[in-house]
Amino acid sequence: MSPSLPLLRSLISRAAAPRPLHALSRPAAARTFASTSTAHADPPKVPVALISKIRSARPGTPLSLARSALIAANHDLDGALAWIADQAAESGAKKAEKLAGRAADQGLVAVAVLADGSGGVGVRAALVELRCETDFVARTDEFRELAEGIARSLAFFAEPSSPSSSAAAAAAAAAHQLVQLDPKAATLLDTPVVPPPHKAAALAAAAGSGDSSAPPSHETVHTSLASLVSRLGENIRLHRASSVALEPTMPADDPPASERSVYLASSYVHASKTPTAAAADGVQSGLLGGLLLSRLPASSAPSVDPAEVKGLLRALARQAVALPTTCIRGAGPAPSSTSSGAESGEPSTALYDQALITMAPSAKFEFEHGSSVGDVLSRWSEARGVDGSGLEVVELARWELGEEGEGEQAQA
Please determine, for residue 407, whether its predicted confidence score (pLDDT) is greater than 50. Answer: no
At residue 121, the 3 state secondary structure works out as: coil
Residues whose CB falls within 8 Å of the CB of residue 247, separated by 6 or more in sequence, listed in order: 122, 160, 161, 162, 163
Alpha helices in 182-340 (DSSP H): 186-189, 197-206, 221-232, 306-322
User: 48-304+384-411 in CATH: which number?
Assistant: 3.30.479.20
The predicted-structure confidence for 86-135, as pLDDT tens digits, reads as follows 777 677 666 666 766 688 899 999 999 999 998 878 899 999 999 999 99
Is the pLDDT at 164 greater than 80? The verdict is no
pLDDT digits (tens, 9 = 90+) for 298-328: 888 888 999 999 999 999 999 999 999 999 9
Residues 138 and 107 sit within 8 Å (Cβ to Cβ): yes
- For the entire predicted model, the pTM comes to 0.73
Nearest to residue 95, comparing CAs of 232, 220, 193, 189?
232
Q: What is the pLDDT of residues 7-45, one digit of tens each?
A: 556 655 665 555 554 554 444 444 444 444 455 556 677
Mean predicted confidence (pLDDT) in 216-222: 75
Please, which pLDDT band fits residue 335 given cuts at 50, 70 and 90? very low
**Spatial separation of the C-alpha atoms in residues 208 and 212, rounded to whole Å:** 11
Spans of all domains in the chain: 48-304+384-411
Closest CA to 364 of 305, 281, 299: 305
pLDDT score recorded for residue 42: 61
